[in-house]
Amino acid sequence: MAGIRALQRRIKRIEEAEKPRPSPFTLLFGSFDAWVEREVLPGIESGALAADDMIAVVAALRAWERDGTWSGAYAR
């Protein structure tokens, strides 16, 4: 019986490892869009962030969010 429980725990760990992990934006702000609305847009409006540069940064980070690049960060 103990062998069955150990097997169940191993299967659970394997299944958990295969699930996609949330990005840092999801963990900290709830979603990527929430981060843009709370941090980026006010920063651009106040002049603290350059609008041209932030468009490129947000586009790159959004691509990472979409394609799962953040999952590689957890492997390290």
The domain limits of the chain are 22-74
pLDDT tens across 6-58, in order? 888 998 988 887 777 778 888 889 888 999 999 999 999 999 999 999 999 99
pTM beyond 0.85, yes or no: no
Number of neighbours of residue 23 by Cβ within 10 angstroms: 21
Q: For residue 25, with 0-12 CB atoms within 10 Å meaning exposed, 13-18 middle and 19 or more buried, which class applies?
A: buried
Q: Report pLDDT for 37.
A: 94
Give the confidence band of 67 by pLDDT, cuts at 50, 70, 90: confident
Is 60 exceeded by the pLDDT of residue 75? no
